Each structure stands twice: as structure tokens, then as C-alpha cells.
Structure 1
Amino acid sequence: MADKAIQPKSIKQNMMWYSAGSITYLGCQWLLSVVVARMSAGFDDAGALALAMAIGNIFTPLAYYNTRTYQVSDVRNEYTDEQYVAFRIITTFLAFVACTMYAVLTAGLSLAPVVAFLVYKSVVVIIDILHGVDQRYSRLDYAGVSLITQGVTSLGAFVAVFGLTQNLTAAITGMTATAVVILFSYDVRHSSRLDSIVPRISLRAAKSLAVVCFPAVVSGVLCSAVVTVARQFLYGMEGEAALGSYASVATLAVIVQMAASYIYNPLLGTFAELSLKGDRKGVVSLIGKVCLAVMGITVAVSILFLLFGELGLTLLFGEKIVPYVYLLQPMLLCTMATAYIWFFMDILIVYRRMREVLIGNAAAFVAVFPLSVWLIGACGANGVSFAGAIAYALGSALLVYFTFRAVKEGRG
């Protein structure tokens, strides 16, 4: 039962807490690649971690099943939080099995750290659905504190274990232990004050959620796989060290995509309320503000990278990274395109336009294969960024068209 004494936070407070938590968590996750690159003799461990994260990028949308976006925009209370939590546990288990099988076939000598990373991500994914409960009750301060704690403790555990053992698998296992502690000692305790989160779901409700979200989850997999496919082409064509150096530099550029998500994720409930009221002008105005904010972030980060990119990378990774500074600006283009396609995908989910979401992401996924072969062959590691940017731009263009058609027609 909800604790009626708990007061909701304002939109501004929720955005501030969620942004602070997400930025801290992202920064600590980003530092994992820095730690590996700095504490290892070469780029092999960095490449193995990059491969684990790339396969994790396939696992994440499968496990998420886009349930949280559906959950926080469920202003009609189609399902209970108990059902959302139970369904997330089911999808996480199935995604883990599927991605472990994929890793067995593709990861080679990096299999152990890949599987360990999938275990870690499984815990993080379960925590995320509890943050969805927090968001529904306008208490993203709970989620923010959780993310800050996760980020700091996981980084600390990784550094300590990797420093002692020089074993990537053991270091990732240390991260998992801290995440499990936070799940049960903090998130379960706070989310249960807002609503019952005991996992309960009927077969009928599970089937219903699986069917309604299936096009969106396939879309999420296809969207995440665009960059994964491009990176694995790089891995196959130029080797583990090339992927490791690319991934190390890419950890800076991803700030654009993450910053965009911190801007619009807390607003998804607002989008849902506006769409339910039929407030087309309000929806379009909010979309415009988010798009301008993403563009502004990209321009600002691009200027910072032009001025301080080489210095920053050198401080983080040492002189050995200097030959790869040229990768930064194309990566920004790719991450901006990534931010836009995820944003418009979530807006279409708010409007329950799952088929259109699938069409846009399928187009991006199909396009990245020939683009990767052509552009990596022609441009080397920069080809990953160019291929991803063009593929995402194609998908985004379709999703923009579908979004404004949905706004015009109203929520189904």
C-alpha cells in the first residue's frame, strides 16, 4: 500500500534529481573504460570490456522490453506496478539466456567478462523498473539517490578488485555485488512505500504486455544493434585493439545521448498527460524544446572537444590515446542522431504507435550493414560513427513523420 504521507516532487525537482543521479552513474560507468585503459598494459582489456558493453547494448532493450516507457505513460492504469515488476523479472531472465547464447557464439576469449557483465546488467535492469514506480509517483529523488549510489559503489568495487587481481571478470563481479546490495537495501525499501511491488502477474496479463510491447522491444533491439553491428564490423575488420581505442574515445561522446535522455525521460509522464488531454500545441511545443536542447548540448560539447578534447583524453588515457583524438567529432554526430531516434521512439510509445516505431528502427538497422562495410573500409574507425549517424538519421526522419501524424490524430 502507498504511504499517503509521501508528497510528490515538482517536475523541476524530479528532473534535477534524475539528472544528477544519471550523470553520476554515467560518469562512473564511463570511468570503467578509463580505469581499464589506464591500469592495463595495452587495449586488450578495454576491447574485451567494450565487447561486453556492446553485447550488453543488445541485452538491455530485450530485458527492458520498453516496459518502463509504457509504465510511466500508463495514465489510464492499464496494469499495476506489481505486474510491471513481475514482467520485468521475466524479460530479464529470457534476455540473459538469449544474450549468453549469443556471447558463446561471438565473444571468443572474452566470453567470461561478457557473461559477468550481463549478470551485472540484469540487476541494474531490475532496479530500473522500481525507478519507474518512483517516477509514476513523482519521486525521482529516490531514483536519483539510487543512481548516485550505484555509480560510486560500482566504480569503487571495480577499481579495487581490478587493481588487486588484474582480472576483468572478477572486477565486474564486484560491481554486481554492490548493485545487489543497493537493490534490496534501498530501492525495494523506498519503492514499496509508494505502491506494492511484490511481483504478481497472471498469464493473461503477461501475454497482454508481451504482445502490446513486442514491436517496441524489437525496435529497441534494432536501434541498439545499429552501433553494435558497426562496432563488430570494426572488430572483425581491424581487431580488438582498434575496437578498444574506439570505445575509449567514444566514452566521451556518449554524453550527448545521455544528457538528452536526462532531459526528456522525466517528461514522458507529462507527454502522456498532454496527449490524453488532446493538447497538440503543448506536445509540439515540448517536442521542440527537447529537440533544441539536444542540438544545443551537441554544439556546446563539440566546441569543448575542439578546444580541450585532446588534453582531456590525454589526461584520462595517457599519450597512447592521442593518435585517436580524430575520432571525437564524428562520434558526436552519431550520438546526436542516436539521441533523436530514441526520443521520437519514446514519444511514439506514449501515443501507443508501436508499428511505426518498428518501421523506423528497422530501416536504420537494415541500412547500417552496407554502410558499415563501405564506410569502415573507406574511413577506418570513423566509419563506425558515419555509418551509425546516417542509419539513425534515416530512422529518425521516419519517426519524426510518424510522430507528427500521431499528434494530429491523437492518442489511441
Structure 2
Amino acid sequence: MVDEAARQPKSIKQNMMWYSAGSVTYLACQWFLSVVVARMSAGFDDAGALALAMAIGNIFTPLAYYNTRTYQVSDLKNEYTNEQYVAFRIVTTFLAFCACSVYAVVAAGLSLAPVLAFLVYKSAVVIIDILHGVDQRYGRLDYAGVSLIAQGITSLLAFIVVFGLTQNLTVAICAMTATALIILFAFDARRASRLDSIAPRITLQTARKLAVVCLPAVVSGVLCSAVVTVARQFLYSMAGEAALGSYASVATLAAIVQMAASYIYNPLLGTFAELSLKGDSRGLLALIAKVCAAIVVITAAVSLLFLLFGEFGLTLLFGEKIIPYVYLLQPMLLCTAATAYIWFFMDVLIVLRRMKEVLIGNVVSFVAVFPLSWGLIQWCGPNGVSFAGAIAYAAGCLMLVYYTLRAIKKGRS
């Protein structure tokens, strides 16, 4: 039942605080799973199986999300109801699960059971995300923040306890799934239903329409993620497995810039939509400028931290063997900053309903990374991956900035 008191929105500052705290907690707990399984296992088989499950989960997640939430939270004209968004997310999750399960049967071998268990866990997480979209539409990201904190802590504790007792990776992942389902039904569904009806209802025609509308953004997301993957594949082919392994290890720290940027602008997507709907081009440009400036500040701050403590942090995580590769950190920050910018302008253009332009910008980045990787890795070694990614993303981002300014100008005129 809808509760009018619950619909009273929190301030932008409160929403950003809660959502950032929840996202950081959840991601930290998910990252710590890899450390826990390596520490608690007798060998490295379980760590490898979990890594494979997470890798296949990384394929599953964008397919299941189908980039619906950005479209949902910026849907101020109520093109679709929350019931339809929830139903559509259930459909995309089911289809993605089926597709990735078939892939897992072929690719996972003896690790099939934990991979499938992990896909079930991620399915629950993906459904929770669309309910967070309902929260965001009504300015109640405090609900989402509390949920993310609870998900992160309970899933990690359940994994540690059950894996410690059973030494069975599949059973431990099932315990994580149980905690996610409890939070889904006991917290998220109840909170979201106080804001709006979330009973999943959708017609085939509406589902097809949503699928077509969001498809360019989905393809764009895949292409955007593939840019660095392509560059890393070039490094593997040209310099070998050890070079790629050291680069990937160092990259775990550099990703903090992209994550921090997303925590800043994700809670603002509804505000972008409101300004666009009002035709407030000046306010829209000012908010875009503030986010861009914030990314610069975050990048500079993280760069200083890495300069002072980067070697210490990497050594703490990976041991002294990583010290010769600390020089990779600063160039990586350029790449992650460029990644943050292109994802930001992708979401702004989705808010502005310029889906074709989103795709064009990411095609530019994807095409550009091939010659850039080949040339820069030969010239700069492993740092060529970062430089190639940064330049490719910058090229695509310039296209997206142009399309954003053009869309705002058209809106004003």
C-alpha cells in the first residue's frame, strides 16, 4: 500500500551520502570475498572457481540490467510504470540467466555448480537494483543505501561462516543468495511498495518497446566495457600472461576513480531529468560542469594518495613482488578518469533520450582502441594499455559531449 509519508523525498545531499556509503560497503565486501576464499581454502581451486563465477557474472550483469534503471529514474513523463519496469527486469534477468547458464555449461567444466549458484545470487541482486530505481524516482535513496550496506555485510558474513564450516564453495554462495533474498522480500520490496505499486505487470508489446528503446544503450555499455578488454588482450598477445597479470593486479586500485564518480552522479540522474523537462538549459549545463569538476578533483586527490601510499597499498594486497609495477598506477588513473567521463555522458544522453548518439560515441571509442593499442603497447609497454584506453575513451567522450551540448541547445530552442 502506498504511504504518502514515505514519498517525502530526502535531500540530494542525504541521497548521495546514503547511496555512496551503501555502494562502497557493498563493493568492498564483494571484493573481500576473493581474499576470504583464498585465505580459507587449502589450495587455489576454490579461488579459481570463484574468479570464474565472477567473470561469467560480469557477462550476466549488463545483460540482465539492460541499462533500464537510468531510463527508469529519468522517466518523469511516466512513459512506463514501475510495475512495467520491474516486470521487464524480471524478463531480462531470466533471459540473461538462461544465456549465461548455457555458456557456463560449455566454459565452466568442474566449476559449473558454483558458477550457476553465483548466477542465482546475482539474479537476486539485479532484481533488488530495479527496486532501488523505484526508491530513486521518489527521492528515497536512503532505502537503497541501507539495502546495499545490509547486502554487503550479510552476504560476506554468510559466506565466511558457511564456507568455514563446510569448505564447500557452492553451499557458501547459496548462503549468500539466501541473505539477498531475505533483504529483497523483507526490506526492498516492502519499502518500494510503500512508494508505488511494484506488482510485475507488462504486455508483450510494451516489453518489446522497452527492449528496442534501451538496446542502443545496452550495446553501448558492452562496447564501452570492451575497450579496456581489447587493450588488455593486445598486451597479452604482445607481452604475455605475466605482463597482463601484473597490469590487472595494479588496476584493482585505480578503479576507485570510476566508482567514486558514479556515486556522485547516479543520485543526480533524476535532477538532470527534471532540469531537462523544465527546459532549464543553464541549470543543466551548470550541473554537468559541477560533476565534471568533481571528477577532476577526485582524480587529483587519488593521484596524490597513490603518489604517497600507492606502493604501500599494493604491497599490502599483493606482496613485495608487485613493487616493480607501481609505475603503472598513474597512467591508469588517466584511463579510469576518461572511463568515468564517458559513462557519465552516456547516462546524461540516456536521460536526454539520445540513444543513437550514445551508440555512435562508443563505436568511435571501440574502433579507435585497436590501432592505439597496437602502437602504444609497442612504444610504452604495459602503460600503453592505459594510454590507448584513455585516448580511445577521450575520442568517444568528445563525441558524446558534442551530442550533449547539441541536445541541450535543441531543447532550449
Fold agreement, TM-score > 0.5: yes
Match of 1:219 in 2: 220
| Partner residue, 2:180 | 179
Q: Aligned partners of 2:375, 2:45: CA distance in 1, in Å?
A: 26
In structure 2, what residue type is equivalent to 1:338?
A: T
Partner of 2:78: 77
Q: Provide the residue aligned with 1:151 in structure 2.
A: 152
Aligned partners of 1:366, 1:138: CA distance in 2, in Å? 39
Look up the match of 1:406.
407
CA deviation digits over 1:369-388, x for unaligned, max 9?
44445555665554443333
1:367 aligns with 2:368: yes
Q: Deviations over 1:215-248 (max 9, x none)?
A: 1111112212223344455566677766555444
Q: Looking at both structures, which has the greater relative contact order when contacts are Cα pairs under 8 Å and sequence separation is at least 6? A: 1
C-alpha spacing 1:68/1:411, structure 2 compared with 1 (3 Å): farther
Aligned position for 1:338: 339
Answer yes or no: is the 8 Å Cα contact 2:15–2:139 preserved in 1: yes
The answer on 1:5 being equivalent to 2:9 is no
2:387 matches 1:386: yes
RMSD, matched Cα? 2.9
Shift in CA distance, 335/102, structure 1 to aligned 2, threshold 3 Å: farther
Question: Tell me, what secondary structure is at the counterpart of 1:148?
Answer: helix
CA distance 1:39–1:345, shift in 2 (3 Å)? same
Which residue is 1:135 aligned to?
A: 136
Whole-Å separation in 1 of the counterparts to 2:379 and 2:214: 39
SS at match of 2:195: coil
Partner of 1:31: 32
8 Å contact from structure 1 (residues 43, 245) kept in 2: no
Cα offsets for 1:305-339 (capped at 9, x unmatched): 11111112222333344344333223222211111
**Any idea what SS the aligned residue of 1:19 has?**
helix
Which letter maps to 2:3?
Answer: D
Contact (CA 8 Å) 1:216, 1:349: kept in 2 or not? Answer: yes
CA distance in 1, matches of 2:368, 2:286: 31
Cα 1:169/1:236, change in 2 over 3 Å: farther
- Say whether the 8 Å CA contact 1:54–1:228 is kept in structure 2: no
Distance 1:284 1:26, change over 3 A: same
Alignment partners' CA distance in 2, 1:49 and 1:239: 24
Q: Which residue of 2 aligns with 1:310?
A: 311
> Given that residues 271 and 347 in structure 1 are in contact (C-alpha distance below 8 angstroms), is that contact kept between their aligned partners in structure 2?
yes
- CA 1:300–1:404 in structure 2 vs 1: closer, same or farther (change >3 Å)? same
The verdict on how the C-alpha distance between 1:391 and 1:197 changes in structure 2, with shifts beyond 3 A counting, is same
Aligned to 1:251: 252
Give the alignment's TM-score, normalised by structure 2: 0.89
Which moved further from structure 2: 283-292 or 314-323?
314-323
User: Does the C-alpha gap of structure 1 residues 235 and 181 become closer, same or farther in structure 2, counting only changes over 3 Å?
Assistant: farther
Partner of 2:359: 358
Q: Does 1:120 align with 2:137?
A: no
TM-superposed deviation, 1:283: 0.5
The letter for the 1-side match of 2:2 is A
Of stretches 127-136 and 50-59 in structure 1, the one that deviates more from structure 2 is 50-59
Q: For 1:107 and 1:397, locate their aligned partners in 2 and report how far apart those are by CA, in whole Å.
A: 40
Shift of 1:161: 4.5
Aligned residue for 1:358, secondary structure, equals: helix
* Secondary structure of 1:343's aligned partner: helix
Deviations 1:62-97 (A, max 9, x none): 211111111110110111100000000111122223
In structure 2, relative to structure 1, the CA distance for the partners of 1:113 and 1:410 (3 Å cut) is farther
**Corresponding residue for 2:320?**
319
1:106, 1:231 → 2: CA distance? 21
In 2, Cα distance between the equivalents of 1:390 and 1:41?
Answer: 43
Structure-1 separation of matches of 2:68 and 2:367:
25
Distance 2:21 2:259 in 1: 12
Does the 8 Å CA contact 2:281/2:412 hold for their aligned counterparts?
Answer: no
TM-score, normalised with respect to structure 1: 0.89
- Deviations 1:255-314, CA, capped at 9 Å, x for gaps: 111111111111111100100111111011000000010111011011101111111222
Letter in 2 for 1:317: F
CA distance, structure 1, for counterparts of residue 225 and residue 363 of structure 2: 11
Query: Closer, same or farther in 2 for the Cα pair 1:381/1:38, shift >3 Å?
Result: farther
CA distance in 2, matches of 1:232, 1:163: 36
* Letter of the structure 2 residue corresponding to residue 266 of structure 1: P
Q: How many residues align?
A: 412
Cα distance in 2 between the residues matched to 1:50 and 1:366: 29
Distance 1:266 1:199 in 2: 24
In 1, the alpha carbon distance for the partners of 2:60 and 2:374 equals 24
- Relative to 1, partners in 2 of residues 1:191 and 1:31: Cα closer, same or farther, differing over 3 Å? same
- The alpha carbon displacement at 1:19 in A equals 1.1
Report the CA distance shift for 1:138/1:171 in structure 2 as closer, same or farther (over 3 A).
Answer: same
What one-letter code is carried by the residue in structure 1 that aligns with 2:316? Answer: L
> Hey, what does 1:286 align to over in structure 2?
287
Tell me the distance in 1 between the aligned counterparts of 2:382 and 2:45.
16
1:374-403 deviation digits (Å, cap 9, x = unpaired): 555665554443333232222111111111
Query: Percent identity over the alignment?
Result: 81
Distance in 2, Cα, partners of 1:175 & 1:136: 28
> Offset at 1:133?
0.3
